[in-house]
Amino acid sequence: MNISNTSPNGTRKNCSGSHKKALTFAYRVGGGVYINLTNRCTNDCTFCLRNNADSAYGSGVLWLEREPSAAEAFEAARTIADGCKEFVFCGYGEPMCRVGALIETAKLLKAEYPDIPVRINTNGQSDLINGRDVVPELTGLIDTVSISLNTPDPEAYVRVCRPAYGEKAYHAMLDFASRCAAKLPHVVFSAVRETLTEEEMLKCEEIARKTGARLRLRDYISENNQNG
Ligand code: SF4
């Protein structure tokens, strides 16, 4: 994806291109209800599932005809929430590109389901996307923030994640993680196991330890292994 194809706040335009589109605002993955707020993203990761698929884990098409309001996202989640163990803001895009709708949806979820934890899966670039520190606004609403660390090396991050903001995206992500760790119950760094050497994994663990986060190494998700 071409870096020049970005909006002023760094989000990529036309991410959904000519894909088939739908109104899949929420979908189930096991005990989790996943909420799909946007297809916008400030990264263009080489390993992004969106490069090879239109859906995830048996969901409907996740390219959106339009972005949902908070009320629509809540209603879509509520209708599939039977037996739900966790709500997750994680769609075919970066949920912090819609932080206002995310917070409003989280408030509705917490009011209806006070005992069910809420997680955000994010690239951690909220400060650059939103131009402010939104972590205080997440307090009391978000139980876990899972941040894609991907690599211990800023230059490698730029090569692999191709952020619209360049290398400062990596440092902004680490700052965001530290502030989340100070205010929210759980912070998780994630990385794709197959993309790291043993030495890089150890460095990722060290970064997580210093930040107050847990490191989760996950397997690469492709079109062919999303059911695993
Ligand atoms: S941050 Fe997530 S949604 Fe954005 S390009 Fe990377 S893997 Fe895809």
Using an 8 Å Cβ cutoff, are 66 and 21 in contact? no
C-alpha 111 to ligand 1 mean position (Å): 30
Ligand 1 atom index nearest CA of 50: 8
C-alpha 23 to ligand 1 mean position (Å): 20
DSSP string covering 96-140: GGGHHHHHHHHHHHHHH-TTS-EEEEE-S-HHHHHSS--HHHHTT
What is the dihedral sign for C-alpha 122, 178, 3, 195? Answer: negative
State the residue for tokens 């909220």: 126
C-alpha 97 to ligand 1 mean position (Å): 12
Ligand 1, atom 8: closest residue by C-alpha: 48
pLDDT at position 11 is: 61
pLDDT at position 3 is: 30
Distance between CA 67 and CA 89 in Å, rounded?
13
Ligand 1 touching residue 41 (CB < 6 A): yes
Ligand 1 touching residue 45 (CB < 6 A): yes
Question: Of 173, 164, 172, 170, which Cα lies nearest the Cα of 7?
Answer: 164
Ligand 1 atom index nearest CA of 161: 6
Using an 8 Å Cβ cutoff, are 27 and 105 in contact? no
> Any idea where the domains of the chain sit in the sequence?
26-218
Q: What CATH number is given for 26-218 in this structure?
A: 3.20.20.70
- Tell me the per-residue pLDDT of 129-168, one tens digit each, with 9 for 90 and over: 999 999 999 999 999 999 999 999 999 999 999 999 999 9
Ligand 1 atom index nearest CA of 41: 4
Ligand 1 touching residue 102 (CB < 6 A): no
Ligand 1 touching residue 39 (CB < 6 A): no
- Tell me the per-residue pLDDT of 52-77, one tens digit each, with 9 for 90 and over: 889 888 889 999 999 999 999 999 99
pTM of the entire predicted model: 0.91
Whether the predicted pLDDT of 217 surpasses 80: yes
Distance between CA 164 and CA 127 in Å, rounded?
14
Ligand 1 touching residue 12 (CB < 6 A): no
